[in-house]
Amino acid sequence: MLRNAQAAYLVRESFAGFRRRKLTTGVTILIMGSALLVLAVLTLVTLNLGGMLEQARVGIDMRVFLAEGLPDDRVAALQPQLVVIPGVAQVTYISPETALHEFRASLGDDAELLELLDQNPLPPSYHLTLRPEARNLDAVQAVAREVGVWPEVEEIVFHQEWIDALETWTFRFQMASLLVGLVVFVAAVFVISNTVKLTMAASARVIQIQKLVGATNAFIRTPYLCEGMIQGLLAGALAMGVLLVAGRLLDGQLGGIVFFTPAQVGGFVVFCMLLGLVGSWAAMRKYLTLRSEI
Amino acid sequence: MSTTSPGAREHDLNAGPLEERGIIAFRHVDLVYKDQAALKDVSFTVANGEFLCLTGPSGAGKSSVLRLIAMDAFPTRGQVIVRGMLATKMSRRRIPRLRREIGFVFQDFRLLEDRNVYENVAFAQLVVGVPSHQIVRNVMRVLTNVGLWDKRHRLPRQLSGGEQQRVAIARAMVNSPKILLADEPTGNLDPVTAQEIIDLLFRINDAGTCVVFSTHDHGIVKTFGQRVIVVQGGRIASDVKRRVPVDRNASLADRMYRPGETATREPVHA
């Protein structure tokens, strides 16, 4: 049970490092901030690239071409059957006329060539939009297998190579993000732990005396853990601040870049506080054995 | 009363329950530190309120004995009992509590340089959770006892070596410990200041605190030692006690030049 004097002491000591060791604390926050800035930039790049890949996946769709000469009622009856297939989000009927119109538009100046045709050669079709979870090769193939056996279906078209390439790049990107993120994270923890060790080394005498007069480890540890958290908070805020200012300055040149939401900024700063806490804890272990090194 | 000797050791140390064996008891203690044998088969007891002088050359094992008493180290073999508590059976949580009953004084004072005299002493009370109003009272009491209340606002660097050591003693005593461990407390002091410090330790001892005083200075041992244990090569080489108690009121000159000093000693186990 903490007494008032002890509680006041612990609060005071949590901030004492900033007063007593201005230079060490300043350098610590600067180094931590730099490591965290690298981590924040990487996170931002990851978020943006991930968003771009997700955007590209929206383009994963299917076209189901129907046999020619099907009566209208049979064509219309397919729509409700297509909608209930797992993974299918939306079904749009494309009549031969609409298809020809689209084809003509896509030909541009060469559209005159279509005038040579006696009749519309394009069959009726359905355009299938897929749910986000089904925008991958396995799901697309599963839908194609199910629909492909229907007698009304002539052909199913989807861009397998494109999906393949997208999946490969997504996988590579995820692995690269994980690897770089891990390296930067370990480096950040290492830097934080070492900078906190500097603080601890400067306080070794105080800790030794505290142990000699019978202070418990919890009492000794608390101000340093709080100090580590405050340093993490300031370093995280510094990293976010630099990133925000840089973002503002480069606003015109980085068109389309998505910045962190306020919740993500808050989450990152809380993460930095926890990192400071873990770094302090790791750095303190050496000093909190029972030995007081008399 | 204290005791040691290869013959008498077993009998004395097993004479009764832990609390009756003295405030400190070592029983066949070995200590290996960094693959070096720091202590070998050390046995002795210290009675409540006793003033023990621990001497021997540097590296003989004096500090190891103090570390074992403070439970800053644990015996590789044998038993160390302090205030009835067996070192090897102590839970980690109990050690800070035990240390609150032990005061420490060092050769290099170990004061907090950025805190004044008052804060250095109050610090020892603060960490153990003494209420604020009692802290003021207790710090005033011990600083008055060591004659430094008037200098309570000074920083350690503004004090002489003797004054710094008195601050360290005040800090050690403010929690009213049962044992005071003084590791070469006069090592950095001139003879007159050293005498003042020893007189202060005598006064603390007179008030009932057991004092274990370590020094390699033969002059001090010869002049002030009441009971003297000589440690050599990690073993107890001798354990003797004066027949005639040290005259604590005599001047330094009287004590230092009184003839026939060695003849007044006898082995503790005799």
DSSP states of A173-189 as a string?
HHHHHHHHHHHHHHHHH
pLDDT computed for residue A224 by the predictor: 84
From residue A214, alpha-carbon distances to A62, A115, B99, B208 in Å are: 74, 98, 5, 21
ipTM greater than 0.85: no
Q: State yes or no: pLDDT of A16 exceeds 70.
A: yes
| Nearest CB to A294; choose among B63, B114, B129 | B63
| Residue B166 predicted with pLDDT over 90 | yes
pLDDT, residue B245, reads 65
In B23-37, which positions are buried (b, 16+ CB within 10 angstroms) versus exposed (e)?
bbbbbebebeeeeee
Selected residue of B127, B134, B212 to mutate for chain A interface (largest A Cβ count, 10 A):
B127
Q: Which of residues 16-75 of A touch B (CB under 8 A)?
A: 20
> pLDDT tier at B250 (50, 70, 90 boundaries)?
low
Q: Which DSSP letter does residue B245 get?
A: P
Rg (CA), chain A: 31
What's the pLDDT score for residue A107?
Answer: 80
For the entire predicted model, the pTM comes to 0.66
pLDDT over threshold 90, residue B149: yes
- Tens digit of pLDDT for each residue in B186-242? 888 888 888 889 889 988 998 999 999 999 888 888 776 678 999 999 999 999 887
Q: Give the nearest partner residue to B127 out of A215, A290, A291, using CB atoms.
A: A215
Give the mean pLDDT of chain B.
82
Answer whether residue A11 shows pLDDT above 90. no
pLDDT higher than 60, residue B11: no
pLDDT band at B1 (very low <50, low <70, confident <90, very high): very low
Evaluate whether B52 touches B1 at the Cβ level (below 8 Å).
no
pLDDT at A40 (0 to 100): 86
pLDDT at B77: 94
pLDDT of residue A96: 86
- Kindly list the residues from chain A whose CB atom is less than 8 angstroms away from the CB atom of residue B110: 205, 208-209, 212
Least Cα separation, residue B233 to chain A (angstroms) = 20
SS3 call for A129: strand
pLDDT tens digits, one per residue of A178-187? 888 788 778 7
Bridge partners, residue A130, by sequence: A88
Average pLDDT, chain A: 82
In this complex, which of B97, B114, B132 lies closest to A5 when CB atoms are compared? B132
Whether A71 shows a pLDDT value over 70: the answer reads yes
| pLDDT at residue B188, as a whole number | 83
Q: Could you tell me the pLDDT band of residue B89, with boundaries at 50, 70 and 90? A: confident
Judging contacts by C-beta atoms under 8 Å, the chain B residues touching residue A294 are 63, 66-67, 70, 72, 104, 106, 183
- Interface of chain B toward chain A, CB-CB under 8 angstroms: 63, 66-67, 70-73, 92-93, 95-100, 104, 106, 110, 112, 114, 123-124, 126-132, 135, 171, 175, 183
Q: What is the mean pLDDT of residues A46-63?
A: 79
Domain boundaries, chain A: 4-55+166-284, 61-158
B74 has a pLDDT exceeding 80: yes
Q: Does domain A61-158 have CATH number 1.10.3720.10?
A: no
The label of the residue with tokens 């790791």 reads: A282
User: Confidence band (pLDDT; 50, 70, 90) for B3?
Assistant: very low
Position B9 confidence tier, pLDDT thresholds 50, 70, 90: very low
Contact A206, B113 (CB under 8 A): no
CB contact under 8 A, B67 and A212: no
CA distance A25 to chain B (A): 17
Mean pLDDT value of segment A109-122: 76
What number of other Cβ atoms are within 10 A of residue A215's Cβ?
A: 23
> When comparing pLDDT for B84 and A195, which is higher?
B84
At residue B19, the pLDDT reads 45
Please provide the DSSP assignment of B189-216 as one string.
S-HHHHHHHHHHHHHHHHTT-EEEEEE-
